[in-house]
């Protein structure tokens, strides 16, 4: 196995006799390398002061500013346009205008319902927009620029041409530029070029926006800002709240396309049929024709989908969860594997130094000074080095003459110092099992500490320069630095939630596998007692996927391996979520089905993630999962209601055309039925709690019950209508026939609601009973009978209608049983 150096060359793993160990001393004096940051300055020696305030103002006046708008949501005009100007609103609006011309206003009630529904959709999306815009401001990246010699974080849109933008690990380049200063600056351009290896940058090299820093630091001069910068479009697309394709939305679009195909020829036939049957009364023919077309349109389905998503965004926003792409709510509900980075996810970002264990006869005071100097040598230390710098602030007098920042690929950092006595030496701090050869006695002690869930770093000395590809070869160990990680108090409960919901949690970390397993074990993660060293994983995708299915905890994972692991899991049909906050997680976050970043994470991780937890709380994830399941499960329920209505409306129209009889209903009848059996119940069901994991094949799952239910309802209703036509005699029997058919259709549609509302809760039972009571009030109230033109005549046919509805209910139950038990998902 080889490991890449900062320059990209491969070097073999260190070998040698572990017993041939030398003790640490001051070492011989060696020539210094090129000057870099003096300890504590935060930037390279001789760095530029950046633009002056006057120069910034001049550039702003010339329009040379990074003024590309980064939107977190659709504009108000786009929201109104998307909700008002729809295909079905145009159809319903046209039919509404026709009714205003030919009929009483009660036959145009469906038009007012559409107006109310559209208004509700607009209001809910505007609420979601305000929430998202507010959260986007909170989570917006603020790059650091140097002006008048001072480093200041500013909004991305405030960068001007020529600004000196500082970079550190995890920072994303938001504009194009040229490197002005570099201190071991390594930039990953894989999101732009596809090249996995980071590129070591030197002054004069080009920086592309959209790339991010994986190690080191520096600064670059902005050469292209605003819409001219390549990164401007990338940054806008990465952080925009979008209504992009998803299985739920694409499924609904397919359903609407099928409905349109059915509706157009059926409507034409119905128009011709009613014109012929009602030739003596063209107004009545038009009303009956409109009544047949309107219920074919599942107009509320799209509305309720948008409302459900919008309310989900608002609910999650209250928990400081920024949803950068709408389908992310849906996607996380479909996840069956969640990959967790240990640091920042299971553990808090900070660490504490638990012990310093000198090796051999090394002087502890001397080691403390070395650690203090290492801590001061990095202007942007990671959590481990920050804890060491706080614990050992005694590195004064040591001058850093060369440094190699920590990299997740190398798993060590290095710096060369001229000590206070004039001697020079290189010190390395990193993973013991990377810096030491296999079988070294020190590794046994390291293993015992790892098993306790502690993080162990090796402080070692080398004769080579920090950026020498062989710097980690034949090092002299000086001490083990033992760090104690702070477990997130809510991590254990969150892992138990995933286990209960049958979502497999995989911990993948760059730390030692045994240590990661011990941490996961403390949190009660099943399978944590058998951690896997990722360096032993097979490289072939299928075999890697098998190993991932068997294991739970993986250590010593490189950033590229994290990406490969996500791909391997996806190749086995898993829907994968990846959580992380570090620059080493970016590639995996980008490739995962759902990327989840912590708000305190690096700018690069926040840019590629679909969900950002602004409160940095891992415990928010169950809320996101639950919200997604609520949306998908409930939309599946209400879609069945809407499409059952579409199917029975089409069947009734076809039967009427073939039989050449008047259409049995007026628009007011079907508006009443739709409101009581679909509209009002669907609104409540769409917003109800639902923890069932989302399943694939949305269209098939909806249609497999909506089609038989609609056929049963349509056939039973038409049978009642024909019986009523034979039973009632006289010139004005159509209202009595219509009332009888309406009773049958209401009872059948109500029973569909009874089935869809399962499993029952008290409020669902009350909802069904309230809808039944509403219809009963209309039937027994004289002025409502007149308004809706509904009056049951006699007792024989009404009870016949009830009997037919009862038989249809039995058929509905049988169809439901077949669908649930016999047909696959």
Q: What is the pLDDT of residues 473-514, one digit of tens each?
A: 888 898 999 988 778 888 888 888 888 888 899 999 888 888
Q: Can you give the pLDDT at residue 565? A: 92
User: Cβ(498)–Cβ(474) under 8 Å?
Assistant: no
**Would 801 be classed as within a structural domain?**
yes
CATH code at position 709:
1.20.1110.10
**Would 680 be classed as within a structural domain?**
yes
- CA dist., res. 200 & res. 466, Å (int): 14
Q: Can you give the pLDDT at residue 33? A: 31
Do 609 and 631 belong together in one domain? no
**Would 17 be classed as within a structural domain?**
yes
- CA dist., res. 504 & res. 516, Å (int): 17
Handedness of CA 120, 764, 672, 305 (dihedral sign): positive
Q: If you search the block for the tokens 């990722």, which residue do you land on?
A: 534
* Angle of helix 282-293 versus helix 621-659 axis, rounded to 10: 140
CATH code at position 540:
3.40.50.1000
Q: If you search the block for the tokens 């409930």, which residue do you land on?
A: 634
Calculate ∠ Cα 247-249-250, nearest 5°. Answer: 65
DSSP class of 160: B
User: Cβ(96)–Cβ(118) under 8 Å?
Assistant: no
My answer on whether omega of the bond before 614 falls inside 30° of 0, hence cis, is no
- CA dist., res. 552 & res. 495, Å (int): 12
Q: Can you give the pLDDT at residue 603? A: 72
- CA dist., res. 135 & res. 314, Å (int): 11
Of 451, 483, 515, the domain-final residue: 483
- CA dist., res. 450 & res. 482, Å (int): 9
**Would 748 be classed as within a structural domain?**
yes
Do 645 and 608 belong together in one domain? no
705: its two tokens? 């019950």
Q: Can you give the pLDDT at residue 815? A: 92
CB count, 10 Å around CB of 423?
Answer: 14
> Which residues have a Cβ under 8 Å from the Cβ of 444 and sit 6 or more positions away?
none
pTM: 0.68
Q: Can you give the pLDDT at residue 379? A: 77
Do 411 and 452 belong together in one domain? yes
Q: If you search the block for the tokens 């989302």, which residue do you land on?
A: 694
DSSP class of 583: G
Q: Can you give the pLDDT at residue 707? A: 92
User: Cβ(186)–Cβ(8) under 8 Å?
Assistant: no
Structural domain of 366: 2-30+353-483
Q: Can you give the pLDDT at residue 135? A: 67
Three-state SS across 552-581?
Answer: CEEECCCHHHHHHHHHHHHHCCCCEEEEEC
- CA dist., res. 651 & res. 371, Å (int): 81
Q: How far apart are the first and last CA of the chain?
A: 45
Do 276 and 398 belong together in one domain? no
- CA dist., res. 624 & res. 732, Å (int): 58
Torsion-angle region of 384 (φ positive above 0: left; ψ -120 to 50: alpha; else: beta): alpha
User: Cβ(736)–Cβ(728) under 8 Å?
Assistant: yes
- CA dist., res. 790 & res. 737, Å (int): 10
Residues of the chain with pLDDT under 50: 1-47, 234-245
DSSP class of 242: B
Q: Can you give the pLDDT at residue 605? A: 78
- The helices-and-strands tally (H runs, E runs) of the chain is 28, 23
Of 616, 651, 678, the domain-final residue: 616
Q: Is 585 a catalytic residue?
A: no
Q: Can you give the pLDDT at residue 242? A: 42
Do 280 and 189 belong together in one domain? no
Q: What is the spatial order of strands in the sheet that 337-340 belongs to?
A: 321-323, 611-613, 594-598, 576-580, 337-340, 504-508, 553-555, 532-533
Run of H or E residues at 680: helix 680-686
Q: Can you give the pLDDT at residue 681? A: 92
199: its two tokens? 């590129």
CB-neighbour burial class of residue 755 (10 A; exposed 0-12, middle 13-18, buried 19+)? middle
Do 340 and 359 belong together in one domain? no
> Which residues have a Cβ under 8 Å from the Cβ of 556 and sit 6 or more positions away?
411, 431, 433, 434, 510, 511, 512, 513, 533, 534, 535
**Would 121 be classed as within a structural domain?**
no
Whole-number Cα distances in Å, 450 to 472, 482, 519, 786: 21, 9, 9, 81
- CA dist., res. 547 & res. 545, Å (int): 5
**Would 64 be classed as within a structural domain?**
yes
Q: Can you give the pLDDT at residue 88? A: 72
Provide the residue count of the chain: 825
DSSP class of 16: S
- CA dist., res. 656 & res. 250, Å (int): 33
- CA dist., res. 599 & res. 618, Å (int): 11
> Which residues have a Cβ under 8 Å from the Cβ of 765 and sit 6 or more positions away?
none
With DSSP H G I counted as helix, E B as strand and the rest as coil, what are the percentages for the chain, rounded to 5? Answer: 50, 15, 30
* Options 176, 341, 378, 511, the catalytic residue: 341
Run of H or E residues at 206: strand 206-207
CB-neighbour burial class of residue 746 (10 A; exposed 0-12, middle 13-18, buried 19+)? buried
CB count, 10 Å around CB of 765?
Answer: 12
Do 267 and 384 belong together in one domain? no
**Would 136 be classed as within a structural domain?**
no
**Would 126 be classed as within a structural domain?**
no
- CA dist., res. 232 & res. 238, Å (int): 10
Do 652 and 722 belong together in one domain? yes
* Angle of helix 441-450 versus helix 513-522 axis, rounded to 10: 20
Of 209, 244, 279, the domain-final residue: 244
Do 100 and 206 belong together in one domain? yes
- Among the listed residues 461, 137, 465, 484, the one whose alpha carbon sits nearest the alpha carbon of residue 322: 137
Whole-number Cα distances in Å, 264 to 270, 293, 653, 703: 10, 9, 12, 20
Do 112 and 190 belong together in one domain? yes
Do 637 and 761 belong together in one domain? yes
- CA dist., res. 523 & res. 510, Å (int): 19
Structurally, the chain folds into a number of domains equal to 4
Q: Which residues pair with 457 in a beta bridge?
A: 481
In 74-175, the DSSP E strands lie at 144-147, 150-153, 164-167
3-state SS, residue 178: strand
Q: Mark 219-243 as b/e (b = at least 16 C-beta within 10 Å).
A: bbbbebbbeebebbebbeebbbbbb
- CA dist., res. 37 & res. 363, Å (int): 27
User: Cβ(237)–Cβ(201) under 8 Å?
Assistant: no
Do 598 and 644 belong together in one domain? no
């Amino acid at each position: 196995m080889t490991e890449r150096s900062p320059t990209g060359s491969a070097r073999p793993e260190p070998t040698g006799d572990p017993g041939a160990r030398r003790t640490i001393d001051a070492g011989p004096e060696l020539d210094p390398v090129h000057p870099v940051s003096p300890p504590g300055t935060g930037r390279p020696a001789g760095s530029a002061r950046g633009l002056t305030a006057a120069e910034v103002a001049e550039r702003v006046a010339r329009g040379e500013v990074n003024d590309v708008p980064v939107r977190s949501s659709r504009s108000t005009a786009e929201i109104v346009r998307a909700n008002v100007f729809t295909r079905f609103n145009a159809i319903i609006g046209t039919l509404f205008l026709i009714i205003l011309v030919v009929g009483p206003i009660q036959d145009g009630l469906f038009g007012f319902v559409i107006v109310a529904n559209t208004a509700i959709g607009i209001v809910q999306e505007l609420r979601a927009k305000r929430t998202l815009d507010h959260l986007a401001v909170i989570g917006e990246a603020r790059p650091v620029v140097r002006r008048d010699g001072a480093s200041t974080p500013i909004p991305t849109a405030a960068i001007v041409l020529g600004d000196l933008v500082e970079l550190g690990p995890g920072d994303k380049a938001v504009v194009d530029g040229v490197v002005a200063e570099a201190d071991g600056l390594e930039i990953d351009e894989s999101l732009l070029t596809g090249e996995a290896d980071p590129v070591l940058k030197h002054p004069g090299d080009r920086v592309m926006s959209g790339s991010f820093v994986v190690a080191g630091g520096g600064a670059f001069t902005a050469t292209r800002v605003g819409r001219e910068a390549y990164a401007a479009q990338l940054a806008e697309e990465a952080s925009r709240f979008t209504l992009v394709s998803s299985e739920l939305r694409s499924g609904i679009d397919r359903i609407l396309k099928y409905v349109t195909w059915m509706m157009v020829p059926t409507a034409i036939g119905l128009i011709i049929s009613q014109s012929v049957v009602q030739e003596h009364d063209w107004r009545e023919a038009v009303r009956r024709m409109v009544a047949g077309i309107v219920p074919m349109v599942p107009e509320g389905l799209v509305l309720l989908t948008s409302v459900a998503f919008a309310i989900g965004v608002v609910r999650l926003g209250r928990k400081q969860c920024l949803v950068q792409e709408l389908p992310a709510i849906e996607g996380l509900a479909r996840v069956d594997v969640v990959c967790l980075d240990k640091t920042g996810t299971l553990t808090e970002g900070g660490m504490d130094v638990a012990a310093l264990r000198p090796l051999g006869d090394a002087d502890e005071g001397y080691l403390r000074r070395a650690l203090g100097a290492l801590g001061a040598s990095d202007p942007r230390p990671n959590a481990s080095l920050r804890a060491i710098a706080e614990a050992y602030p005694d590195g004064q007098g040591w001058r850093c003459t060369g440094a190699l920042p920590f990299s997740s690929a190398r798993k060590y950092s290095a710096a060369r110092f001229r000590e206070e006595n004039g001697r020079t030496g290189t010190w390395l701090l990193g993973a013991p099992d990377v810096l030491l050869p296999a079988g070294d006695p020190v590794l046994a002690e390291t293993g015992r500490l790892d098993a306790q869930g502690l993080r162990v770093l090796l402080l070692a000395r080398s004769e080579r320069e920090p950026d020498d590809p062989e710097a980690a070869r034949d090092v002299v160990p000086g001490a083990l630095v033992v760090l104690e990680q702070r477990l997130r108090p809510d991590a254990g409960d969150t892992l138990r939630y995933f286990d209960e919901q049958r979502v497999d949690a995989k911990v993948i970390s760059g730390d030692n596998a045994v240590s990661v397993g011990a941490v996961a074990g403390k949190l009660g993660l099943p399978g944590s007692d058998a951690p896997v060293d990722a360096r032993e994983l097979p490289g072939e995708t299928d075999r890697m996927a098998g190993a991932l299915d068997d294991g739970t905890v993986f250590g010593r994972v490189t950033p590229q391996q994290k990406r490969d692991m996500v791909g391997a899991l996806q190749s086995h049909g898993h829907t994968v979520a990846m959580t992380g906050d570090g620059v080493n997680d970016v590639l995996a976050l980008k490739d995962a089905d759902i990327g989840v970043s912590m708000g305190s994470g690096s700018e690069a991780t926040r840019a590629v993630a679909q969900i950002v937890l602004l409160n940095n709380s891992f415990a928010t994830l169950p809320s996101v999962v639950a919200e997604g399941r609520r949306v998908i499960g409930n939309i599946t329920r209400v879609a069945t209601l809407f499409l059952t209505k579409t199917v029975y409306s089409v069947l009734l129209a076809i039967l009427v055309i073939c039989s050449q009889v008047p259409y049995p209903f007026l628009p007011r009848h079907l508006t009443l039925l739709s409101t009581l059996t679909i509209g009002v119940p669907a609104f409540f069901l769409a917003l109800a709690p639902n923890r069932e994991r989302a399943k694939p094949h949305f269209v098939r799952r909806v249609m497999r019950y909506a089609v038989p239910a609609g056929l049963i309802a349509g056939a039973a209703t038409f049978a009642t209508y024909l019986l009523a036509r034979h039973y009632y005699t006289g010139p004005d029997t159509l209202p009595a026939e219509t009332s009888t058919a309406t009773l049958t259709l209401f009872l059948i549609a109500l029973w569909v609601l009874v089935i869809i509302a399962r499993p029952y809760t008290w409020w669902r039972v009350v909802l069904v009973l309230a809808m039944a009571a509403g219809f009963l009030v209309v039937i027994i109230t004289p002025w409502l009978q007149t308004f809706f033109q509904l009056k049951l005549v006699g007792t024989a046919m009404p009870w016949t209608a009830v009997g037919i509805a009862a038989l249809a209910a039995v058929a509905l139950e049988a169809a439901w049983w077949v669908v649930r038990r016999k047909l696959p998902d």
